[in-house]
Chains A and B, each alone.
Chain A
């Protein structure tokens, strides 16, 4: 049980950051299928920076910057050049895979200390809950507060309102005095930074190493998680924990000698997402930002 909780938290953290990245982008009306690529670029930049400077903090900051830069390119193509979001997103994924391989090639196998565990004094000693929740590194601790911050930002600030307005109906937003272009750029830059941090958490926090394509599809899980969370950062927390738990559940069941095929178990996150998508998503539902519907129906 303790393992499951710890696993859920450790595996769920990069998922949460990635989901938040996608949420803010989609709230502004932009779907980024290339989140995987952004995460990879963040992972490699974070790792290389940590190797070169010895500072995991520098690594995380560099990863955020790198992610934001890559997403800026995406923003330019999609917002200014009006390129199809889905195709551009996939191309971005390819770009991220290639770029990260290129940058990381000479850094494979370098040892780093990475993000250090910061056990919360006192709380970390609680049975079961202690190690599961209070014995992690800074990025893990920051994840939930950042999610809550984003939730507050989206729903209780003027900027958040602007983002949502642009996501619902850019034309109306424009008529109301907002500049959709600027808002979308801002959202996408923030999304890029978060995606970069998600990748950095994988390379500096969880695995403390770099390998080509180490995100292994987590960027796509995040795209599904956004729907699971109904575009709300608070729900993304639950979703990420659930899916993080599913990922580690498979490994855990093996250690217990339970004879279920690990591959069937690995399917869980995806099947779950699909079920949720069918149940809650839907092209007719009101939960999604309206202009996203047009993206998915292909007329944009």
Chain B
């Protein structure tokens, strides 16, 4: 009698084990960062996106690795993540594309989402947010705020996306202030704080009173501008505003959270598609930072109105005629440079001082 009771109890207990055992995550997501997730910039934006995804989907587990160099190491890391059960990989840097393509080919049942790339596979999708419109608006604000009509931009590399941003910025600035000139300095690398500080100082010495920045971490340039009483325009991450309480004009930031949540859901219910996702200000991938105290309300209103035009398709940042800064005509009158072709933009527009090569 007692033995039977004992056996019954044991059986019931055994049946309960799967219920009581810690739940296996429904999905493991792996993400690779090229830099540190505290850079108040590119990498932190991706990291925040992952945090938002985790909040929305608590049953998803994440493997996150920082400072992964591009090349062979990235490939090995992705395979390691897959071995640990990752079924969605986000290689969050342009240079991870080739390794990711190879890993994707070897692991067809694992899904990949690569930002800013230009090649796809059935299990590798590409995503980005089109920033030129936002930069156009930023340019308008900066063009109104600047007193010296000189704006400096510290940029990592002359990649097409970045050139397009600068061009849009200058065109927006010119639209409200025909005398504005933007000078660009390329540091040659995504992150080198000492060089960025020197470049920023040099631009300020040349008379710029607004500094923009397109490197992984905007901290150095924004801080330098703030210290010297200049205005600043940010990129990648909203938090950069805290480094420039007085001089902040605005910025544009990536908000990947909802997109990542969507990716995770798609992988979990098998509806993952490979496509060219290009977000914009009109959806939840991109957001413009609130204007800083330096921007007067009428400028804010002007910018707001143009934003509506852009959203409605009534205006376009790259409307012809446009010449580049060596005098060559790039866009004819009456035409526009399509935003889907940004990969081919390897020139800087008239009014920008700098070399895209």
Contact = CB atoms under 8 A, between A and B. Distances in A.
Question: Is there direct touching of A and B in the complex, by C-beta distance under 8 Å?
Answer: yes
Interface of A: 2-3, 6-7, 10-11, 101, 105, 108-111, 117, 131, 202, 206-209, 211-212, 214, 216, 247-248, 251-252, 254-257, 259, 261-263, 266
B185 A208 contact: no
> What band does the interface of chain B fall in when counting residues whose beta carbon is under 8 Å from A?
35 or more
Interface string B200-230: 0111011000000000010110010001000
B258 to A, nearest CB: 24
B36 A211 contact: yes
B36 A251 contact: no
A208 B223 contact: yes
Contacts of A216: 192, 194-195
Contacts of A10: 197-198, 201
B193 interface: yes
Contacts of B193: 206-209, 211, 214
Contact of A255 (B67, B206, B220, B242): B206
A251 B219 contact: no
A108 B39 contact: yes
A278 B197 CA distance: 33
A206 B36 contact: no
A248 B201 CA distance: 10
Interface in B108-164: 152
Given A109-B44, A111-B219, A209-B193, A251 B199 contact: yes
Interface string B42-62: 001000000000000000000
Contacts of A206: 193-194, 197-198
Q: Which 7 A-B pairs have the closest CB atoms?
A: A109-B38, A207-B193, A108-B36, A3-B205, A108-B38, A257-B353, A254-B185
Given A6-B201, A251-B199, A254-B186, A109 B40 contact: yes
Given A111-B242, A251-B199, A257 B354 contact: yes
Contacts of A110: 38
B243 A202 contact: no
B184 interface: yes
B279 to A, nearest CB: 25
A207 B220 CA distance: 6
Interface centre among B195, B202, B243 (most CB of A within 10 A): B202
B304 to A, nearest CB: 30
Interface string B313-357: 000000000000000000000000000000000000000011101
Given A7-B201, A214-B193, A252-B202, A109 B36 contact: yes
A111 B242 CA distance: 9
Nearest to B208: A255
A207 B205 CA distance: 17
A6 B251 CA distance: 29
B236 interface: no
A117 B229 CA distance: 13
Contact of A2 (B35, B192, B205, B357): B205
B188 interface: yes
Given A108-B36, A202-B194, 10 more contacts: A7-B202, A109-B39, A111-B242, A207-B193, A209-B193, A209-B220, A214-B192, A216-B195, A254-B184, A261-B357
Given A108-B39, A251-B195, A251-B198, A212 B220 contact: no
Nearest to A210: B193
B196 interface: yes
A166 to B, nearest CB: 35
Contacts of A262: 186, 188
Contacts of B197: 10, 206-208
Nearest to B353: A257
B183 interface: yes
Nearest to B206: A255
A7 B198 contact: yes
Contacts of B82: none
B191 interface: yes
A257 B325 CA distance: 10
A257 B83 CA distance: 50
A259 to B, nearest CB: 6
A254 B192 contact: no
B220 A248 contact: no
B202 A207 contact: no
A21 to B, nearest CB: 18
Contacts of A251: 185, 187, 195, 198-199, 202
Contacts of A255: 152, 183, 185, 199, 202-203, 206, 353
A216 B192 CA distance: 8
A107 B124 CA distance: 34
A117 B152 CA distance: 22
B280 to A, nearest CB: 28
B82 to A, nearest CB: 25
A168 B46 CA distance: 57
Interface centre among B201, B206, B353, B354 (most CB of A within 10 A): B201
Contacts of A131: 205
B39 to A, nearest CB: 6
A257 B275 CA distance: 39
A53 B194 CA distance: 23
Nearest to A260: B355
Contacts of B192: 211, 214, 216
A261 B158 CA distance: 12
Contacts of A111: 219, 223, 242-243
A256 B152 CA distance: 11
B263 to A, nearest CB: 26
Contacts of A259: 355
A297 B196 CA distance: 39
A219 to B, nearest CB: 13
A131 B186 CA distance: 24
Interface centre among A3, A6, A108, A262 (most CB of B within 10 A): A108
B190 to A, nearest CB: 10
